[in-house]
Structure 1
Amino acid sequence: MMWKEGQNSCISLGVILGVVLLTGLMRVTFRRRVFSTVTRTFVAELLATFQLCCCSHELQVLVELGPSNPSWPLTIIYFLSLVHGLTLVGAVSNPCGVLEQLALEQMPVGMSILKILAQMLGAWFSRTFMLWIWKMGISKWHYPERALKCTNPIHIALPEAFLVEMFCSFIFHSTMMHFQEIRLKFRIHLQAALITFLVFAGGSLTGAVFNPVLALSLHFQCFQNLFYNYFIVYCLGPSLGIMLMVLMFSHFLPWLHNMNRNNKNA
């Protein structure tokens, strides 16, 4: 029995590795063949979101296969976050990140729309691809019905779920904004640790997704059946977290600093 579980875990890890290698190969191919900056940006964002969503789908399978030890899912999430941090450099793969750059005037409106469109397509392609993989039935845990049912991750009241996703988004993006000056090889470990902590803190409540396109890919059936609940929790919640972060660090704290300095000078 233990041997079979280990074999199934290896199969799921192989699927994740295959997705990362396939995405990397496609990324290199497009870089060599496509010279338009707009097209490169669109494809990079699409592939990054595709990889993130596919790996997250298979992560759910892997967690079910793992031991009952609660550290097992967190360990897998940490190492997957490292992989994404190393391979998805330059892509946002989160509409909230695009919204942050737009609010900080670091990205034009047209490019923001292009990136979000690419992310939505990447999320849709990931569902189609993983459904195809699961239909192959390479293990008993791979079956198409997995993607066709709503597994509701919200285990608390709607207002509380909204606040959890909002604060996760606020904490993650505000912290990452202050990580920008840190060298990449250290920053990706800090990012992976932060994601793991947020999943540990809020995963049992809402899944701690704080990414609208990832939530759409993972819980598409729930979006169909419970659209308003999911829109409020997984779209409005993280977006409000971003806006609060921008207001605090770009407007409120500088205003408070200037007011204190003026009072001292007076």
Structure 2
Amino acid sequence: MWTEGQDTCISLGVMVCVVLLTGMARVLVRRHTRSTFIRVFVAELLATFQLCCCSHELQVLNELRPDTPSWTLTVIYFLSLVHGLTLVGAVSNPCGVLEQLALEQMPVWLGFLKIFAQMFSSGLSRTFMVWVWSLGISSRHFAERSIKCASPIHIALPEAFLVEMLCSFIFHSTVMHFQEVRLKFRIHMQAALITFLVFAGGNLTGAIFNPALALSLHLQCFHELFYNYLIVYCLAPSLGIMLMVLMFIHFLPWLHNMNRIHKNE
């Protein structure tokens, strides 16, 4: 008979194993591969794989303690720290790639390569977690978890669209403005921001703002309500990126220049 404490330890152990597995894979690739093409592809694949697998298991962990959301938020914070430390050089979010493409920080072919790796890894991570759950090492681990659609959307579609768009806008604009901050401080800032956004929007839409992660977590929901989920989890965060680029790269500098011109007159 499984206890809640044992199930919690098992879920945490699964996350640790995923992080160690992807970490060893990164080391092997760096040592034995010199091709930039392969390194970029594998880096995005492993980063997205780690993020999606840990998020899958985080949902299991959340079910174990539904009455203590602070526990889940604490785990999210520390997971975000781990991802920030281990996923250096990878984006693991198609919206982040769109941002870099819009800012002309990478060639188009590289952007498409990264997005392909992320979307491929989202399906791979889901398949891997279904296999892990089928082993039945915890009372909450069973393959049937992947069959049903556990929709995270608890508000009307237009409101859900706005929530995901705002989460994407806030997160990516904050990260863009703190790129010069030292890594050891920046990862804590990002982890705190992610935790806050999940706290604010988690009960509304899940506060995912990552199309690859959303597809991995809620593939069955995409099958049943494709257009709704495409709008909320793909178009909304992408629009948030575009609005962020337009505001901070184009509109605000233009407004600043216009003010300077008027002052000089």
SS where residue 205 of structure 2 aligns?
Answer: coil
Report what 1:38 is aligned to. 37
Specify the alignment match of 2:177 in structure 1: 178
After TM superposition, what 4+ stretches of structure 1 lie above 6 angstroms from structure 2? Answer: none
Secondary structure of the corresponding residue to residue 29 of structure 2: helix
Give aligned pairs, total.
265
- Describe how 1:73-112 pairs up with structure 2 within 5 A: 73-112=72-111
Instruction: Flag the 1:177–1:24 CA change in 2: closer, same or farther, 3 A.
Output: same
Pairing 1:14–2:13 present = yes
Does the residue aligned with 1:149 lie in a helix, a strand or coil?
coil
Counterpart position of 1:138: 137
Shift of 1:65: 1.4
Mapped partners of 1:137, 1:240: distance in 2: 40
Give runs of aligned pairs for residues 1-266 of structure 1, distance below 5 A. Answer: 4-66=3-65, 68-266=67-265
Gaps of 5+ in 1: none
Tell me the TM-score normalized by structure 2. Answer: 0.98
Return the TM-score normalized by structure 1: 0.98
1:63 is displaced (CA, Å) by 1.2
Supply the distance in 2 between the matched residues of 1:31 and 1:69 (Cα, whole angstroms). Answer: 41
Cα offsets for 1:123-159 (capped at 9, x unmatched): 1110110000000000110000111110010000000
Rounded to whole Å, the distance in 1 between the matches of 2:147 and 2:28 is 33
Counterpart CA distance in 2 for 1:27 and 1:63 is 29
Cα RMSD after superposing both structures: 1.0
Name the amino acid aligned to 2:182.
R
1:66 shift after superposition: 2.6
The AA in structure 2 aligned to 1:185 is K
1:70 CA drift (Å): 2.3
Q: Distance in 2 between matches of 1:69 and 1:209?
A: 20
Rounded to whole Å, the distance in 2 between the matches of 1:120 and 1:168 is 21
**Percentage identity across paired residues of the two chains:** 77
- What is the deviation of 1:67? 6.1
Alpha-carbon distance, 1:9 to partner: 0.4
Query: In structure 2, how many angstroms separate the alpha carbons of the residues matched to 1:251 and 1:169?
Result: 18
Tell me how far apart the structure 1 counterparts of residues 25 and 111 of structure 2 sit (CA, whole Å).
23
CA apart distance, 1:121? 1.0
